[in-house]
Amino acid sequence: MSALKDIKVLDLSRILAGPFGTQILADLGAEVWKVESPWGDDTRSWGPPFVGDESAYYLSANRGKKSIIVNLREERGQKIIKDLASKADIFVENFKVGNLARFGLDYTSLAEINPGLIYASVTGFGQTGPRAQEPGYDAALQGMTGIMSVTGEPDGGPTKVGAAWVDILTGLTSLIGILSALHEKSLSGKGQHIDVSLFDVGIACMANIAQSYLATGVSPGRIGNAHPQVAPYQDFRASDGDFMTAANNDDQFRRLCETIGLPNLAEDSRFTT
């Protein structure tokens, strides 16, 4: 796709949350420069599996990007980034709050060079607040934001979602902010600082589960593959294996009953809630 043709992105993020969002910018046609330290992105060594010398994990979040190695601890490296930022439309980073300011690469400094720059910061807990200086990882944030408390079987312990749920959703949320800022820039010519945190996204994505708690004061529990408000919306065991079904309304339930050869279940008083 070429929706973002001629848009230049400087990607100083690493691991997953930041890179996942910038990868989609590349998919949309933007020119994305992946900036890595001489030691490389952490995920380059995460494996197996590897594709040749490349980590499959690294490849999953860095498709379609160009690559450059810069040592930010050196003045030469800082100058390279400032020069690139002066020509960029978008700058993405996921350093701990304040780290890039030491190198003159924070939003305030780069906005003086390029007032139209869209600068996205992806952190554990945001730019302000009592935990702003703390790092954040998906596994820890899954525990903190509540998803583990409702994942797993009722008689089991808290369970982490298999995929890096918080990281991926944070990457998508940062992408929404960046695309919104691009639209604003097309109208006003101004850039802006986008502040996205793993914690905020994790809490927001608890959605109906969090709202149910706010409405009732009752903490939701683990119910396996079932749904707290809808049934049947879970896994069942059949003669040839397990399957998932989701019937969200009465019409879908009626058609499900017909499909499995038990149409009378749709009128059964036990299920007419």
Catalytic residue among 11, 89, 167, 195: 167
Could you tell me the residue ranges of all domains in the chain? Answer: 8-204, 233-271
**What confidence category does residue 33 fall into, taking pLDDT thresholds of 50, 70 and 90?**
very high
155 is a catalytic site residue: no
pLDDT digits (tens, 9 = 90+) for 9-27: 999 999 999 999 999 999 9
What pLDDT does residue 27 have?
98
What CA dihedral angle connects 249, 255, 261 and 263, to 10 degrees? 70
Quote the mean pLDDT of the chain: 96
Residues in Cβ contact with 52 at an 8 Å cutoff, skipping those fewer than 6 apart: none
The stretch 65-87 carries a mean pLDDT of 98
Give the predicted TM-score (pTM) of the model: 0.92
Quick check: 168 and 202 in contact, CB under 8 A? Answer: no
May I ask the CATH class of domain 8-204?
alpha beta
What pLDDT does residue 271 have?
84
pLDDT digits (tens, 9 = 90+) for 201-216: 999 999 999 999 999 9
User: Which residue in 221, 227, 226 sits closest to 149, CA to CA?
Assistant: 221
**What confidence category does residue 89 fall into, taking pLDDT thresholds of 50, 70 and 90?**
very high
**What confidence category does residue 1 fall into, taking pLDDT thresholds of 50, 70 and 90?**
low
